[in-house]
Amino acid sequence: MTLQLLINGISLGSVYALIAVGFALIFNILKFSNFSHGGLMSVTAYIGYVASVFFGRYIKALPLFVVILLAAALGGGLLAIVVERVAFRRLRNSNSSVIYYFISSITMGILMENSVTIFASSNFYSYPSFFPTSVIRFGALSVAIPDLLTFLFSGSSLVILLVVLFRTKIGLAIRSTSFDTATAKLMGMDPNRVVAATFFASGVLGGVAGVFLGINYTLYPQLGQLIVKGFVASVIGGLGSISGALIGAVLLGVVEIFLIGLVGAGWSPVVIFVIMLVFLLLRPRGISGVIVQEKA
């Protein structure tokens, strides 16, 4: 039973990891918490739905699912680039202080969520079921197929991201820019392109996460507010650290599943908030232990 919950928790945690890493990427490079990520996930969840209606006539089951994920990922990536262009480009050029990024990202998030509300809230939508809801048995353990696929697809998106970050030239550029923007610029990297690439990567992860959220819950415009899980995961893991975000997210998923078993779904946000407070009191730099300095 416990092992069973653990597996469900890891599957949930892998979706949180998508959110948390997409969030950490932007935090790393621009040093602010990107609240527009939630709005982006709302939009991509609907993009995925539109794709499922559009392609659902030709293909079924697993191929359809892959197509939907690709559509949402691409949509999310492009949308993130637009967001960067509209909300942050001018701020970056004028070297604005962090609070302006903040307010800009919140506004952008609300705007995206509200656009979804305007165009889609009057009707109720939900994803078709892609897989037979059967289980695979490993001895005494039974793993639901959707859970397994969630884990596989989130995991592979994260692996792809890590490969891009650590094995390609653009990944190197992203990492060096997040380390020191001015020096990276001196070394001949175009900050606009690097930031756009980072936003694209973050948007792709947000897109995949949006589809999974849309499948796990129903589609509603406020879906993106689940981004709070990504935030909590990053606080636990350490703000701005990719590995920390991964660990924090999986931990959060597992804890949450256990809490739902213990205290019920209603009370679990309260307990998670208390856990977050305790974490901040005892170990504010998170698990990864990297602390981002304000200055000097």
Partner 1 sequence: MEYLVSTLTFTGITLIGVLGVYMVTGLTGLFSFGQAAFLAIGAYISAVLYKNLGLPLPLAAFVAMLVGLAAGLLVGLPTVRLRRDYISLVTFGFGEAIIAVLNNTANVTGGAMGLSGVPQRTSFSLVLASVIACLAVVISYKNSKYGRQCLALRNDELAAKSMGINVERLKLVTFLIAGVMTSFAGVLYVFYTTYVEPGAFGWVISAEWMIIVFVGGVNSLTGAVVATVLLTGLPEFLRFASEWRIAIYCIIVLLILNFRPSGIFGEHEISLDFLRRLFRKGARAA
Under the criterion CB under 8 A, does residue 99 sit at the interface with partner 1? Answer: yes
Q: Kindly state the smallest distance separating residue 240's Cβ from partner 1, in Å.
A: 9
Whether residue 185 contacts residue 93, with contact meaning beta carbons closer than 8 Å, is answered with no
Whether residue 214 contacts residue 223, with contact meaning beta carbons closer than 8 Å, is answered with yes
Applying CB under 8 A, which of residues 6, 56, 102, 149 lies at the interface with partner 1? 102
Residue where the block lists tokens 């092992």: 3
Of 42-50, 143-151, 205-213, 272-280, the segment contacting partner 1 by CB under 8 A is 272-280
The residues near 32 (Cβ < 8 Å, ≥ 6 apart) are 26, 98, 101, 102, 105
Q: Kindly state the smallest distance separating residue 8's Cβ from partner 1, in Å.
A: 21
| C-alpha gyration radius of the chain | 19
Under the criterion CB under 8 A, does residue 107 sit at the interface with partner 1? Answer: yes
Q: Which string of x and - marks every residue 63-92 that binds partner 1 (by CB under 8 A)? A: -----------------------xx--xx-
Under the criterion CB under 8 A, does residue 106 sit at the interface with partner 1? Answer: yes
Under the criterion CB under 8 A, does residue 114 sit at the interface with partner 1? Answer: yes
Of 150-158, 180-188, 208-216, 263-271, the segment contacting partner 1 by CB under 8 A is 263-271
User: Distance between terminal CA atoms of the chain?
Assistant: 50
For residue 80, which of 231, 191, 229, 206 has the smallest C-alpha distance? 206
Residue where the block lists tokens 């350490």: 238
Q: Which is nearer to partner 1, 31 or 185 (CB)?
A: 31
The residues near 173 (Cβ < 8 Å, ≥ 6 apart) are 184, 189, 193, 194, 197
Residues in the site for partner 1, rule: CB under 8 A?
27, 32-33, 86-87, 90-91, 94, 96, 98-100, 102-104, 106-108, 110-111, 114-115, 117-118, 225, 228, 231-232, 234-235, 239, 266-270, 272-274, 276-277, 280-281, 284, 292, 294-296
